[in-house]
A and B are shown apart, each in its own frame.
Chain A
Amino acid sequence: MSLTPADLTSAVAGGIGASPQRPDGNLKVRGEFAYASDLWHEDMIWGATLRSPHPYARIVSVDLTEALKVPGVHAVLTHEDVPGQNRYGLEHRDQPVLAEDVVRYQGEPVALVGADHPETALRALKRIKVEYDVLTPVVDMETAADERPLHPAGNVVRHVPIRRGDQRAEAEVVVTGRYEVGMQDQAFLGPESGLAVPDEEGGVDLYIATQWLHVDQAQVAVALGLPLERVRLTLSGVGGAFGGREDLSMQVHACLLALRTGKPTKMVYNREESFYGHVHRHPAVLYYEHGADRTGRLVYVKARIFLDGGAYASSTSAVVANAATLGVGPYDVDNVTVDCWGVYTNNPPCGAMRGFGAVQAAFAYESQMDRLAEALGMDPVDVRIVNAMSEGSVMPTGQVVDSAAPVAQLLKLVKDKPMPPLPAAVDLRDMPGGVSNTTHGEGVVRGVGYAVGIKNICFSEGFDDYSTARVRLQVINGEPAASAHTAAAEVGQGLVTIMQQIVRTELGVERVTILPMDTGIGNGGSTSASRQTYVTGGAVRAACAAVREKLVKLAGGRAPVDLVDLLGDDVIDETVEWRHRATERIDPVTGQGNAHVQYGFAAHRAVVDVDVELGLVKVVELDCAQDVGKALNPQAVLGQIQGGSAQGLGLAVMEEIQLADGKVRNPSFTDYLIPTVLDMPPMSIDVLELADPHAPYGVRGVGEPPTISSTPAIVAAIRAATGLALTRVPVRPEHITGT
């Protein structure tokens, strides 16, 4: 017989569908939660990194003599001290742990210092003499393919073409556009940090803030020249991630110093170094042509998309695939021609950030939909609804969308929301420019804009995307207690709460402990692609099912009545590897194939007030509708939608790493602005729960879709207020004033 959760017990509190408090919440509000930068070890030293000041240069010589003389310095290391392979990377091992004869971006690590005080380490860094032969950097993503090759195979990391339907289709109404997306930063608040502790056998334990323990472990071990089991990683407290912790930062560096000196080594970046220390969102240039008939039905879409991968590949290949396969948006289009290139340049390396390729494409295709509406004299929401994808639709890759795709419904939900009232009286705090007292309402124009987006959920293109979970059940102090162990990274999103909820629901046990996440168990996969609730949630659920089977055996095939009596001193301990249904790599010539596991959708309406004389924007309201399949934790779902929308707002009106000849001009929170509580407006949110039959509990990934449609909705609203074309994000005041 099989046993259902309902057989086990009357439902316990805090299961799926509820919003129990997160298990780390009390520690976090008390200031007692141990983030990676809080770690301390007896006799530890501090590591620091010397970085290249040049975007592109040959290293002529490195002289460590003076640095080694600084009292308190324990070690100064260069690439010559990397015992294993001096290369790492998520998809291509093209990035040196420490630069050898060339540096390819400003901020590239060249040397390391380990010292007894962080200030001592910084002083020693300043005494390292590096002679550079400065080269002209490659900085233009559109021409990079034809410029001086920065890597042996040339400057194209990946080209993805998509060809579907009639490549010569023509249409009555044609709109074209060129769009640009600036380089956005994840700007997680907890800086890159970790503590490496050498053991007595030449191995190392690394306590680290990361998104994926096992892929870090593999890369660190290769660089250290150690077998995997000698490099053990434990997740430390993670202060946000958003894609910026998928690549290595100080992981190998701290281990190198620890193994060389025999001392526990702590490394913590400051904010400026953090801007150099992780990959960013790919800047993009996108050329689009949309053809439609007079009713607004899309006949064809053509796009050429350039993504600037910067100096090293990171996850550029996958970002290119996303931008290409999702490049026409959540619309039915029979005839599609897309080419997307990810290229090497001497700009900072770019890789994963929330929305991962879908963000850049959405800004362009949604701008195009507004342009099309204008050309047709149609309402911008109507033209979207006319073309809205639905369940059964065929993607440009030929993949059939086989679960809910309520695109039209999401658009209607945000359109039908009541409008925020115009302010009754002048309150400076409601004005663009705020208490800077730049206007009392004169020159302020209100605008409304809409957008909808699509995102793939989980890893795509044939990747073996699984997670491992171990669930134990036993009686502790007279009551049943369970624990769950995975290597899946909690980065703030609340996976630890979801895991507890799943175990409670599946085993009917209220007391659930989440064990520290580490490499002592199998791979949990990345905390990326909105996948952890789906995949690690699926693994925890499957492990619980295995535990239930053991319970049935123990009960002689009958449904157990009382777990305490049944278990006695027995411990049930089950480990399960769980994977979602397989995907396939797309055809390299046609781009056809079932590339993605699941699609997620969100729509936004933005209401903005624009001071058209000064170019200042106040987002008055930002509303969202999203299908989440099943809200396992409704409070956390709202938190993801609110936070994701805020990051989209940032890209729309303020966030950009500004570059000049490959150099970062604003590596600080003084000059790189992220939304404050004054910038982020109230949100009205509708959550749909249209279960995906292929996914555990019907869940649909939540984290990324709201970041995608937020940006184009806000820009559409600014266009509505100003009548300007606004083809670049972030929109700056001078784009509005024309000065």
Chain B
Amino acid sequence: MRVNVTVNGEQRQADDVWEGESLLFLLRERLGLPGSKNACEQGECGSCTVYLDDVPVCACLVAAGQAEDREVRTVEGLARGDRLDPVQEAFVEAGAVQCGFCTPGLVVAAHDLLDRVPKPSDPEIREALAGNLCRCTGYEKILEAVRLAASRKEAGA
């Protein structure tokens, strides 16, 4: 089948999509956007988190066809040119990135949190990121990164 979808503001089209393919496969293998990651492909790890019409979803749990005529924003669509989003910047600075495989999903999840809750408390951060597994960092520096991004966004706002 053919899928038409807006990805990171750009109208995209993919042909010969098998009906069983996920949005994650579509993004990674057909649209050249491998930033969203394939760590579990069963909705447990959050590594493939993308915005679908402004709602964060696990792209592995969305069928490619369900994205027809909708808007997807991936981790590749967060920075403005060379300028990183404050969440991305804070992840690098705080040391929240080790292997980085969980990072794209966490960055999108944290980005969404700060859009909804500009100054989240630690329990709010923990709750918002509870669907994203990280195996390297023990999460401490991820919390630091989200706090840092929140303070930067506040200062910049």
Give me the interface of A with B, judged by CB distance under 8 Å: 19, 21-22, 24-26, 28-35, 37-38, 40, 117, 119, 186-191, 237-242, 268, 270-271, 427, 429-430, 435, 491-494, 635-636, 638-639, 641-647, 668-670, 674-678, 680, 682-683
Contact = CB atoms under 8 A, between A and B. Distances in A.
23 contacts: A28-B97, A28-B103, A29-B75, A29-B88, A29-B89, A29-B92, A30-B76, A34-B34, A35-B101, A37-B37, A38-B34, A240-B99, A270-B38, A429-B127, A642-B139, A643-B135, A643-B136, A644-B138, A646-B138, A669-B44, A676-B133, A677-B125, A677-B132
B115 to A, nearest CB: 17
Nearest to A242: B135
B143 to A, nearest CB: 7
A19 B79 contact: no
Contact of A190 (B78, B84, B99, B127): B99
A658 B33 CA distance: 36
Contact of B98 (A427, A639, A641, A675): A639
Contact of B133 (A24, A32, A647, A674): A674
Given A119-B20, A639-B137, A676-B130, A21 B41 contact: no
A643 B127 contact: no
Contacts, number: 186
A382 B84 CA distance: 51
B53 interface: no
Interface in B92-145: 92-93, 95, 97-104, 107, 123, 125-127, 129-143
A479 B91 CA distance: 30
Interface in B27-79: 28-29, 32-42, 44-45, 47, 74-76, 78-79
Contacts of B129: 677
Contacts of A669: 40, 42, 44-45, 133
Closest 5 CB pairs of A and B: A31-B35, A492-B99, A239-B101, A642-B138, A28-B100
A240 B127 CA distance: 24
A33 B98 CA distance: 12
B123 A429 contact: yes
B103 A29 contact: yes
Given A21-B92, A668-B44, A37 B139 contact: no
A657 to B, nearest CB: 15
A427 B47 CA distance: 29
A643 B104 CA distance: 18
A683 B138 contact: yes
A30 B84 contact: yes
B41 A189 contact: no
Nearest to A28: B100
B135 A35 contact: no
A32 B34 CA distance: 8
Given A32-B35, A189-B101, A492-B100, A643 B18 contact: no
Contacts of A677: 125-126, 129-130, 132, 134, 139, 142-143
B137 A22 contact: no
A190 B18 contact: no
A494 B98 CA distance: 7
B40 A271 contact: yes
Nearest to A193: B38
B16 to A, nearest CB: 9
A33 B100 contact: yes
A29 B84 contact: yes
Given A29-B97, A33-B100, A240 B135 contact: yes
A37 B33 CA distance: 12
A645 B138 contact: yes
A668 B42 contact: yes
Contact of B136 (A237, A492, A638): A492
Given A30-B75, A240-B136, 11 more contacts: A25-B100, A31-B76, A35-B34, A38-B28, A189-B134, A242-B135, A636-B95, A642-B137, A643-B137, A677-B125, A678-B130
Given A642-B137, A677-B142, A37 B107 contact: no
A387 to B, nearest CB: 29
A476 to B, nearest CB: 21
A491 B135 CA distance: 12
A336 to B, nearest CB: 34
A43 B34 CA distance: 18
Contacts of B138: 639, 641-646, 675, 680, 683
A530 B120 CA distance: 36
A683 B140 contact: yes
Contacts of A638: 95, 140-141
A117 B37 contact: no
Contacts of A189: 37, 39, 45, 47, 99, 101-102, 133-135
A689 B104 CA distance: 34
Nearest to B89: A29
A639 B133 contact: no
Contact of A191 (B39, B91, B130, B132): B39
Contacts of A641: 138
A642 B135 CA distance: 10
Nearest to B103: A28
Contacts of B123: 427, 429-430
A678 B127 contact: yes
Given A21-B92, A189-B37, A677-B142, A31 B75 contact: yes
Among A189, A240, A435, the one with the most B-chain Cβ atoms within 10 Å of its Cβ is: A189
A647 B142 CA distance: 16
A42 to B, nearest CB: 13
A628 to B, nearest CB: 15
Given A677-B143, A680-B139, A639 B95 contact: yes
A676 B84 CA distance: 26
Contacts of A28: 92, 97, 100, 103
A647 B44 CA distance: 18
A240 B41 contact: no
B142 to A, nearest CB: 7
A682 B39 contact: no
Contacts of A645: 138
A278 to B, nearest CB: 13
B37 A26 contact: no
